[in-house]
Amino acid sequence: MIYLDNGATSFHKPPEVLRAVQEALRTCANPGRGSHRPAMAAAERIYDCREAASRLFGCLPEQVVLTTSGTHGLNMAIRTLVRPGDPVVISGFEHNAVTRPLHALGAQVTVAGRKLFSPEDTLEQMEDALRKRPKALICTHVSNVFGYILPVEQIGWLCRHYGVPWILDAAQSAGSLPLAQADFVAMPGHKGLLGPQGTGLLLCTRPPEPLLYGGTGSASLPPTMPEDLPDRGEAGTLNVPGYAGLTEGLRYLHRTGIHGMARRQQQEVRRAAAGLERLGFTVFSGPCQLGTLSFLPHGDCEEAATKLARKGIALRAGLHCAPLAHESAGTLDTGTLRISYGHDACPSQTQALLTAARVLL
């Protein structure tokens, strides 16, 4: 099988990730819940994960709140900055993990920047919206549908200039691109960071408002959650085997370096775009694009994905949990077929895709 669904989750994890999960299950108890050896081993695995994340992202270990997914971190960050009815700015390419929490809060949402692959439009529209001093700006770094890389350095600069707090959704960029410094940066552990499902990270410049209340293994007496990072965001028993695996994913990325990763994915996306266009499909590609590409087959997307799956190509069809991005690009009615490359992106994957795609002609 050629796995081109890394936008959903990475599938071929480095072997050390698998070994670490198994080792943690064998040796670890509950972190911070005892001074016996298995509890201490668990605490060490958890600290290792914060430390590996802090090295990769250039923050302090205590600024790393361990979450269960990208969605978990985004909800926590949004609940910290946004109150019911608050004005908020988002890009035109957000995932439901951003739009649904805002909808649930009844936030007044301004969508700024809907032109695909146009950093100029994104920045112009966002600056206009920031002049009205919203309570927060929330945006994805890379569109999970189209691979569009938003100009996050400049967005960060604008947010600081207008004094507006910023949440960055790094779900599709962490592990492939350097991240910008936002008030909160949320990311899954199971996509580009190569960890297991059920893991995520929220990088925090200040303690978040808890989503969950409960035991943290620290300061048990008060009825309130601890005030400090990272405990304020981490109630309940942590997924120790998951974070032990994630640590190895983070170390792998630190060792191999992420620049080569982005370059390889971009090369394959360009190759795939050219090949799919040659076959006569409508392809969404542009200058600032990472390892994800959407295209339209001649018929129904779901049927096309099933045909390609039978040919051994794993990709995704539909709206990809991001109807807003499709609305921006004009593909809400059809959805798209999406390929998304991972850390193992290589020409033979693209060649196999292009050969199999003939079944759609």
Q: Contact region for ligand PLP (CB under 6 A) — 166-174, 239-247, 288-296, 346-354? A: 166-174
Smallest gap, in angstroms, from Cβ of residue 165 to ligand PLP? 18
Smallest gap, in angstroms, from Cβ of residue 27 to ligand PLP? 27
Please tell me whether residue 169 binds ligand PLP under the rule CB under 6 A: yes
Please tell me whether residue 208 binds ligand PLP under the rule CB under 6 A: no
Q: What is the residue type of 76?
A: M
Smallest gap, in angstroms, from Cβ of residue 197 to ligand PLP? 8
Give long-range contacts, CB 8 A cutoff, 24+ apart: 31-36.
Answer: 31/217, 31/238, 31/240, 32/216, 32/217, 32/218, 33/217, 33/237
Q: Which of 6, 91, 122, 172 binds ligand PLP (CB under 6 A)?
A: 172
Q: Which is nearer to ligand PLP, 275 or 323 (CB)?
A: 323
Of 314, 313, 325, 315, whose CA–CA distance to 284 is shortest? Answer: 325
Q: Contact region for ligand PLP (CB under 6 A) — 63-71, 103-111, 241-249, 334-342? A: 63-71
Task: Tell me the β-bridge partners of 296.
Answer: 282
Cis ω before 230 (30° cut-off from 0): yes
Smallest gap, in angstroms, from Cβ of residue 7 to ligand PLP? 6
Q: Which is nearer to ligand PLP, 156 or 217 (CB)?
A: 156
Q: Contact region for ligand PLP (CB under 6 A) — 69-77, 158-166, 247-255, 256-264? A: 69-77
Please tell me whether residue 316 binds ligand PLP under the rule CB under 6 A: no
Smallest gap, in angstroms, from Cβ of residue 188 to ligand PLP? 3
* 81 neighbors 66 (Cβ within 8 angstroms): no
Q: Which of 200, 233, 241, 242 binds ligand PLP (CB under 6 A)?
A: 200
Strand ranges of the sheet holding 136-140, from the earlier edge strand across to the other edge: 64-67, 200-204, 184-188, 166-169, 136-140, 87-90, 108-111
Q: Count of residues binding ligand PLP (CB under 6 A)?
A: 12
* 350 neighbors 264 (Cβ within 8 angstroms): no
- Cα separation, 242 vs 21, in Å, equals 6
Please tell me whether residue 188 binds ligand PLP under the rule CB under 6 A: yes
Smallest gap, in angstroms, from Cβ of residue 361 to ligand PLP? 30
Residues 124-163 vs ligand PLP: string with x where CB under 6 A? ----------------x---x-------------------
Smallest gap, in angstroms, from Cβ of residue 63 to ligand PLP? 19
3-state secondary structure of 208: coil
Output the residue with the shortest Cβ distance to ligand PLP: 70
Smallest gap, in angstroms, from Cβ of residue 53 to ligand PLP? 15
Q: In the range 247-276, which residues lie near ligand PLP by CB under 6 A?
A: none
- Cα separation, 65 vs 145, in Å, equals 27
CA 84 to chain centre: 25
Count Cβ atoms within 10 A of the Cβ of residue 102 and give its class: 0-12 exposed, 13-18 middle, 19 or more buried: buried
Distances (CA, A) of 350 to 4, 6, 243, 293, 310: 9, 14, 32, 12, 17
- Cα separation, 102 vs 108, in Å, equals 8
DSSP secondary structure letters along 220-250: -SSSSPPSSTTGGG--S---HHHHHHHHHHH
Q: Which is nearer to ligand PLP, 167 or 345 (CB)?
A: 167
Residues making contact with ligand PLP (CB under 6 A): 69-71, 95, 97, 140, 144, 169, 171-172, 188, 200
